[in-house]
Amino acid sequence: MAETKNKIIDDSGKQTGLTVTEQEGTPSDEVTELRHRVAVLERAVATGAMQPAAPVSVTDTMGADGFINDTRDALKKQKHYKISIPSTETQKDPIHVAINGYAYNIPRDSEVSLPESVIEVLKNAKYTTYSLKKRGEGEEGNELVGQDVQRFPFQSVGN
């Protein structure tokens, strides 16, 4: 099947930076409509009328069966919250969260809207750090004390 890549030009004749890949047999009216929609959205972002959402990639990791579709539909129906997960000195990669085979790759340092179940997974992701604590008067040595720490601390930025 032949493919043609076309750069998208907005109504003013300016190149938008996006491309549309046409496959042989794609009706030209659909491609024209897609180009127009992209140009309208980019113009809204450029003028500040609209803020682009951070891209959250979603992956069906177990195949396109009914189970995954049910999970996807249930997650879409849940209340969504906007959060931001900051990078740290050692952790800059996106965060991978999967619920019943439906996976999210959540970018750091961006506002993202996520379903309540994904937020719960992030809240419950913890690890234990250990430190030495001096024992009390008259006791020798130190004591190893564990403390649970949130694995992906995040900040709520609205609903």
Measure the CA–CA gap between 46 and 99, rounded to whole angstroms: 35
CA-based torsion, 39, 41, 42, 46: positive or negative: positive
Q: What is the mean pLDDT of residues 13-33?
A: 57
Measure the CA–CA gap between 68 and 61, rounded to whole angstroms: 9
Distances, alpha carbon 86 to alpha carbons 35, 95, 96, 104, 129, in Å:
34, 11, 14, 17, 20
Domain boundaries, the chain: 3-46, 57-158
- pLDDT 10s digits, 50-77: 555 555 555 555 455 566 778 888 999 9
Name residues whose C-beta falls within 8 Å of residue 11's C-beta, 6 or more positions apart in sequence. 39, 43
Q: Of 28-32, 34-38, 50-54, 68-72, which has the strongest mean pLDDT?
A: 68-72
Measure the CA–CA gap between 32 and 40, rounded to whole angstroms: 12
Kindly calculate the radius of gyration of the chain based on its CA atoms and give it in whole angstroms.
23
